[in-house]
Structure 1
Amino acid sequence: MSSGRQARKASKRTIPLEPLIMPQVPRSNYLHFQEEKQRLQLKKFLLHRMFLVAKILAHTEKKDIAEYYEQTFQSILKRHLGEAVTGLLLIYPTSILHILESSSGTLFRILLDYLDHEKNENEFLIQGMKIIVMSHNIPARLFLQWQVSVIKVPVMYLDDVTQSQSLEEVVTEFLTQIHKLGLHLFKTVKVGTKGPGDNLHQVAPDLLLPEQIIKYLCNSEEFLDPAAFIQMYSNPVHVTLDSEVVWPAPTRF
């Protein structure tokens, strides 16, 4: 009897107890949230929107400007992964206004291509380019395709707002008018069509920016040109901690 009891006690002791397993709570971070958001929107890369202004040479064929950008877009997308380019190119008599929407790598390569032409050509058809604003991680595209519109008929303006307004006010009006124009094209232009073409001054004359504002922004020193912009974003960020600063400076004996 005693031997049976001891055997039963031993058998009870040899049965291992299952360890208590804490329930695993799924954790995520902001990067995973953004990646999932992009996946749901069928986008491989984050989207950015860039606003450019520039001057053009006198007697420049407007079709040459459009063909240059079309060839640049095709060349970049063939060699590099990235989002397709959408936006709007307004060609004024002596200047251009360009809005581009794409991934950051594609936008940077567009600027690099411009710098390459500017460096290697004496008189490139686009000159004095300035970057007004670059909006990062935009939720959706404002333009469903890339379209070009030539402003043929000069628009008459009662006064020159650049003479009475500050730079901040001019930029605010600049962005407000572009946003209104983009919403108008978003609602009226169908995907696959050429858009308003060269009749934009007749379709939406109140939404067009005066060329004097474009010239004013081109001449403003407050905005970066492509070379300074790329250099700023290419340079590594060096942060010096207070613990790394030693005073007086160490000297060798």
Structure 2
Amino acid sequence: MSLIGHTQRSSKRPFPMEPFLMPQVPRGNYLHYQEEKLRLQLKKFLLHRMFLVAKIQANMEKKEITDYYEQMFQSILKHHLGEAVTGLLLIYPTSILHILESSNGTLYQILSDYLGHEEDETDFFIQEMKIIVISHNIPTRLFMQWHVSVIKGPVMYLDDVTQSESLEEVITEFLTQTHKLALHLFKTVKVGTKGPGDNLHQLAPDLLLPEQIVKYLCKSEEFLDPATFMSMYNKPIHIILDSEVVWPAPSRF
């Protein structure tokens, strides 16, 4: 009798729900989200953007300049597979403005190649190069390929802003105009085309920087030249601080 009663009482208990009957809600975290985002973008490396200015020899042919860079890009690409260079090279009569987008290793090799020519050739056509800014880990490219444009024709400027504005104002104008120009090309230039060509001064004259600003930045001592930058880049980061030095020196007994 007691056994039957015990059986009846135990039969009233709800059966535990099997694990496979529980609703399986997929859960993720921010790391998985970022990894999936990079995978969809086929992004195998961190992307950086570098702004350079430099002087060139007068009356340089466009082909001479483009051949130098294209051969260098091809050589670097053999050791940095998949790390293509995109950007914009503006060729003024006596100076250049160069925007480069690629991996850290590729940008390092570009600067190293310039230093090699500067040391070995006294009359290398690129002189007084300055690094204006390097943007690290940018989310996406502004340029789908590498474009070259020659700024043709004499351009008359009403005043020289480098004489009336501070360096901070000049560099602000430089960065603002170059980003506006990059966004303009991003919206108007189709992938696979040759780019704006040599008519950029007619298509977007208000977005082009005067050459006087480029030459002014080349002379400015506030910006690093490639040699100084590479020297700092290659320095060891393990530096002994004054706070780490103990005096008198500890001795063993």
1:1-253 paired onto structure 2 within 5 Å: 35-240=35-240, 244-248=244-248
Q: Can you give the 5+ residue segments of structure 2 that lack an aligned partner in the other structure?
A: 1-26
Relative to structure 1, the CA distance from residue 75 to residue 140 in structure 2 (aligned partners, 3 Å threshold; closer, same or farther) is: same
C-alpha deviations, 1:190-228, integer Å up to 9, x for none?
111111100000000000000000000000001111111
Instruction: Measure how far apart 1:238 and its partner are.
Output: 2.1
Distance 1:87 1:183 in 2: 12
Matched residues in 2 for 1:35 and 1:130: separation?
A: 35
Tell me the CA shift for residue 62 of structure 1.
2.1
Instruction: Say how many residue pairs are matched.
Output: 226
In the alignment, the residues of structure 1 paired with residue 59 and residue 241 of structure 2 have an alpha-carbon distance, to the nearest angstrom, of 55
Q: In 2 relative to 1, CA 225–182 (structure 1 residues): closer, same or farther, beyond 3 Å?
A: same
Distance 1:61 1:137, change over 3 A: same
CA distance in 2, matches of 1:182, 1:194: 15
Kindly report the root-mean-square deviation, in angstroms, between the aligned alpha carbons of the 2 structures.
2.2
Given residue 93 of structure 1, which amino acid in structure 2 is its aligned partner?
P
SS of residue paired to 1:127: strand
User: How far did residue 250 of structure 1 move?
Assistant: 6.5
Separation in structure 1 between the aligned mates of residue 244 and residue 136 of structure 2, nearest angstrom: 33
Amino acid aligned to 2:126: I
The C-alpha deviation readout for 1:113-134, integer Å capped at 9, x for no partner, is: 1111111112011111100000
Distance 1:243 1:212, change over 3 A: closer
Q: Deviations over 1:149-193 (max 9, x none)?
A: 000112221111111111111111000000110111111111111
What residue identity is the alignment partner of 1:117?
A: H
Contact 1:82/1:106 (8 A) holds in 2: no
- 1:81 and 1:234 map into 2 onto residues whose CA distance is 23
Normalised TM-score (structure 2):
0.83
Relative to structure 1, the CA distance from residue 168 to residue 33 in structure 2 (aligned partners, 3 Å threshold; closer, same or farther) is farther
Alignment CA distance shift 1:174-1:80 (3 Å): same
Q: Whole-Å Cα distance in 2 between the matches of residues 201 and 68 of structure 1?
A: 24
1:242 positional shift: 6.8
User: What one-letter code is carried by the residue in structure 1 that aligns with 2:153?
Assistant: V
Using the alignment, how far apart are the partners of 1:38 and 1:229 within structure 2? 30
Which ranges of structure 1 fall in alignment gaps of 5 or more residues?
1-25
Report the CA distance shift for 1:165/1:236 in structure 2 as closer, same or farther (over 3 A). same
2:3 alignment partner in structure 1: none
Distance 1:174 1:135 in 2: 15
SS class of match (1:183):
helix
Corresponding position of 2:23: none
Which shows bigger deviation, 204-213 or 160-169?
A: 160-169
> For the structure 1 residues 199 and 231, does the alpha-carbon distance in structure 2 shift closer, same or farther, using more than 3 Å as the test?
same
Q: Secondary structure at the match of 1:197?
A: coil
Query: In 2, Cα distance between the equivalents of 1:217 and 1:243?
Result: 38
